[in-house]
Structure 1
Amino acid sequence: MAVSPPRLPDLPLNALRAFEAAARLGGFAAAAAELGVTPGAVTAHVKQLEAVLGAALFVRGPRGVELTPLGARVLPDLTAAFDALAHAGQRLRAEARPRQVHIATLPAIAQLWLSPRLPALRAAWPEIAISITAMEAPPNLKRAGFDLCLFPSAEQGFVLAEDWLFPVCAPGMAARLRRVEDLAEVPCLTDASWREDWALWLAGQGVAVVPRGPVFSLYALALEEAVNGGGVLMGHSALVERHLAEGRLVRPFAHELRLPRALRLWSARPLRGTEAAARVAEGLRAPR
């Protein structure tokens, strides 16, 4: 009677995924951020994989982790395998829902630049469903299921809008500002992600002003506080254009600073082999 040989158990997929991300990104915290889990979960998965293998994949030290020779040898194959798996998953989703377009962007861009443009996109292509995910940094498009990325960048993608810096405030607040030095007497609002904005703009003024005021975790909140007369905000041109056009904000000073980055649109792959993402990209590139 034929005897089937015993089948070796498969290595745990989640553990392999955690190891690959930690090895590629250089740490458990970065892997956790990409995978959407806690660093403790990544640590547990890697320990599980090492236990199953009976071999170490990382050397733990006071300054972090380093790959062992074994870990370094297997990483390229695992990265290629997970990239291929992600690509296959993206293709499945795309062909299952060919009229859905998923955009990743910054929270401020989603609220202040992209949202006002959605009605025109829906009117032009009512059959296309557009979904938006707000995040603080561009995703790994080889792994994430996004069709388009919309982020400030110095070089990647199609330029949708240049990024100019200049102070903005409500008209009543502007009446109190005659000189740049007057900024020392009013609240200067700051976005937590762009803390350097005030220093960059003031560097070109030659004025020793130390801006003081509250820091906001969301740019849209800081912008609303400026509209309500709560202080002066360093405006990013693409994000404050509508408020300036409607007169809710004004520019108290003429000086503006062009940043090396710009608001750019890109995709890391052909636009899903369908026309939906290409049409949305075309609509976003069209001048208003």
Structure 2
Amino acid sequence: MRKLPSLQALRAFEAAARLQSFLLAAAELHLTPSAISHQVRALEAHFGQQLFTRGNRRVELTDSGGRLLTMLSAAFDMIEEACRELAPKITTESLSVHCTPSFASKWLGPRLPAFMREYPGLTIRMSSSAEPVDLLKAAELDVAIAYGSVRRQAGVVIEALGAERIAPLASPKLIGKRFTRADIAKLTLIESKLNPLRWREWFTQNGLKMPESPQPSFDRAALVLAAAVDGLGVALESVRFAERELASGELVIVGDGLYTPIERETHFFCYRAADRSSQKIRHFHDWLLRESRGLSTDE
């Protein structure tokens, strides 16, 4: 039988000696300072000598206390390592996601911290480009989020991420207080080259004549929105991409309520049919649909 003092007392001493404070030791071990002091005094009684010299606000080790701390620290390190080796290993796996740069930066990226909190064992490895990818040839990818028109192909499952509103967006500095339906034709129209809805179609659906003035264009939604924030003109873009700018007041929906609301399915979740049973893809799929439809995990 081992002749050892109380393990609880040894833990209290080690924490107080390492932190040089009964108060800090109490916080670390979830005890009261008086409990730490009681344990240390019991240990000193066991050894028949002082381990600390006590001051008003701090404690200092005696020579005997220093020697005990050195040996205890090594012993506790060995115990901790033995427990770590036997503890269950945390396994992680990765999910390779491909999408457009604007979707990554304007919508998906800001939401990934929430996904990581919900699925801490799943790491997202994201790549982006404006060009579509063929999942049957890109074996390194697990899923793709396609934008615009999607070519259906055997062996690939394609699911729309819900309809999203496409509306004219501009800095509030450009919009007068008495804005009328016809006033939009007086603004510089910024063309989003990859957006499937173009200004000419928007004007036609609203029964307005398209102006013949020059239209600056950009091949990224993020650039289109940045130009609109800077006051270059009015952008025709997905409200999904402009959440932060609308929330901060940097952008407003031009003539909200004056024009025909237009919604389109423009983003699509794609994965190989052979991976239908993959749990990691299912987790990401379900989370993505909840986010795109504005649902909480309680719904």
Normalising by the smaller structure, the TM-score range is 0.5 to 0.7
- Rate the CA distance shift 1:245–1:205 in 2: closer, same or farther, 3 A: same
Q: State the TM-score, normalizing by the size of structure 2.
A: 0.57
Aligned partner of 1:241 in structure 2 is: 243
Q: Does 1:217 align with 2:211?
A: no
Q: Does 1:264 align with 2:256?
A: no
Q: How many residues align?
A: 192
Aligned partner of 1:148 in structure 2 is: 143
Aligned partner of 2:174 in structure 1 is: 173
3-state SS in 2 of match to 1:157 = strand
Aligned partner of 1:231 in structure 2 is: 233
3-state SS in 2 of match to 1:161 = coil
3-state SS in 2 of match to 1:122 = helix
3-state SS in 2 of match to 1:209 = coil
1:239 Cα offset (Å):
1.6
3-state SS in 1 of match to 2:135 = coil
Amino acid at match of 1:151: A
Following the alignment from structure 2 to structure 1, what is the Cα–Cα distance between the partners of residues 276 and 197? 37
- Rate the CA distance shift 1:228–1:101 in 2: closer, same or farther, 3 A: same
Following the alignment from structure 1 to structure 2, what is the Cα–Cα distance between the partners of residues 272 and 196? 32
Following the alignment from structure 1 to structure 2, what is the Cα–Cα distance between the partners of residues 157 and 206? 34
Following the alignment from structure 2 to structure 1, what is the Cα–Cα distance between the partners of residues 196 and 133? 22
Whether the 8 Å contact between 1:165 and 1:197 is mirrored in structure 2 is: no
Amino acid at match of 1:200: E
Following the alignment from structure 1 to structure 2, what is the Cα–Cα distance between the partners of residues 256 and 134? 33
Following the alignment from structure 1 to structure 2, what is the Cα–Cα distance between the partners of residues 177 and 169? 15
Following the alignment from structure 1 to structure 2, what is the Cα–Cα distance between the partners of residues 197 and 207? 14
Q: State the TM-score, normalizing by the size of structure 1.
A: 0.59
- What is the alpha-carbon root mean square deviation over aligned residues? 2.7
Following the alignment from structure 1 to structure 2, what is the Cα–Cα distance between the partners of residues 165 and 212? 21
3-state SS in 2 of match to 1:193 = coil
1:195 Cα offset (Å):
7.5
Aligned partner of 2:194 in structure 1 is: 193
3-state SS in 2 of match to 1:267 = strand
Per-residue Cα deviation, 1:159-198 (whole angstroms, up to 9, x for no partner):
3231322101111112277234323332211122238521
Following the alignment from structure 2 to structure 1, what is the Cα–Cα distance between the partners of residues 253 and 267? 21
Whether the 8 Å contact between 1:104 and 1:132 is mirrored in structure 2 is: yes
Alignment partner of 1:250 out of 242, 249, 252: 252
Following the alignment from structure 1 to structure 2, what is the Cα–Cα distance between the partners of residues 177 and 231? 18
Whether the 8 Å contact between 1:181 and 1:209 is mirrored in structure 2 is: no
Amino acid at match of 1:267: Y
Per-residue Cα deviation, 1:143-169 (whole angstroms, up to 9, x for no partner):
102111212357863332313221011
Q: Does 1:107 align with 2:109?
A: no
Alignment partner of 2:129 out of 135, 147, 160: 135
- Rate the CA distance shift 1:172–1:214 in 2: closer, same or farther, 3 A: same
Report percent identity of matched pairs: 22
Say which one has the larger Rg: 2
3-state SS in 1 of match to 2:267 = strand
Whether the 8 Å contact between 1:149 and 1:266 is mirrored in structure 2 is: yes
Per-residue Cα deviation, 1:235-275 (whole angstroms, up to 9, x for no partner):
21322233223322111223245355332212123448643
Amino acid at match of 1:150: I
Amino acid at match of 2:112: L
Unmatched segments (≥5 aa) in structure 2: 1-90, 295-299
- Rate the CA distance shift 1:177–1:159 in 2: closer, same or farther, 3 A: farther
Aligned partner of 2:23 in structure 1 is: none
